[in-house]
Amino acid sequence: MLTSTLKRISYLKVANPHWLIILFAALLWVYYLAQQVGFSGEAHLHHAHHNMHHSPETIFFRPVLDWMIMVYAMMLPMTSSTIRAIVNRIPVARQSRSLLIFILGYSLIWLVFGLVLFSASKWVETLSSLVTQANLSIGALAYLAAGVVSNADFRIRLLSACGSIWAPRIVGYKADLDIAKIGIIEGVKCVQTCAHIMVAMYIAGHNLMQMAVLTVALFYEKSRYRNKEDLLRNTCFFLAIWELAIFYQ
């Protein structure tokens, strides 16, 4: 019985080389749920534009850490096909090393994008204040714009190219450079296709339920883009209505 179970587990690990990434993302969602039920004493996730008046550690390090945790929870599962392609092209002895290098390259792009977004936090605050004075919801407008961008032709073309990689070299430091380059390129592709969602969430305030809904929609779109049926666009429009309901309650 035990031998059969171990063999089954081993087979699942081989058939799903991205299992460790999925597990890591799942643990981050457990962390978020723990925060939500009260371990952190807060119902919403903290981000830079909510903490500009706090200590230097809060102003810089904590928002960056929160940003990267959110990126890993939402975006790492989207790299499943890329990770599978990498693992299928490299020797077993290099797989763990290559996975780490890929994640580092991928993370670098999202980190840079996050820093750029944080640098615009004052503009976001000013815009939010102006929109609120006009009796409008900045979150609803952000999700409405994200919904429009979701079905733009240029984005659909980029989405179709996600996960397509070349065969990396398999020996020496050049193999590591190839994997790092793949990670960076995939990070760029993900930012190009998902930046509008992350910006909308940043502006709206990163409600955990909204984050979960968008993660499911993005994962479905990534795996089923040829039959996506406007799911991401409609999800953004739904969240816009959600924001309006909160704003005018």
Residue 195 lies in domain: 2-247
> In whole angstroms, what is the distance from residue 16 CA to residue 91 CA?
16
Can you give the pLDDT at residue 4?
Answer: 60
For 192, residues 6+ apart whose C-beta sits below 8 A from its C-beta are 155, 158
Reply yes or no on whether the pLDDT at 60 is more than 90: no
Look up residue 137 and give its DSSP letter.
Answer: -
Cα–chain-centroid distance for residue 237? 19
How many domains would you assign to the chain?
Answer: 1
Can you give the pLDDT at residue 43?
Answer: 43
The winner for highest mean pLDDT among 11-15, 85-89, 187-191, 229-233 is 187-191
204 vs 61, higher pLDDT = 204
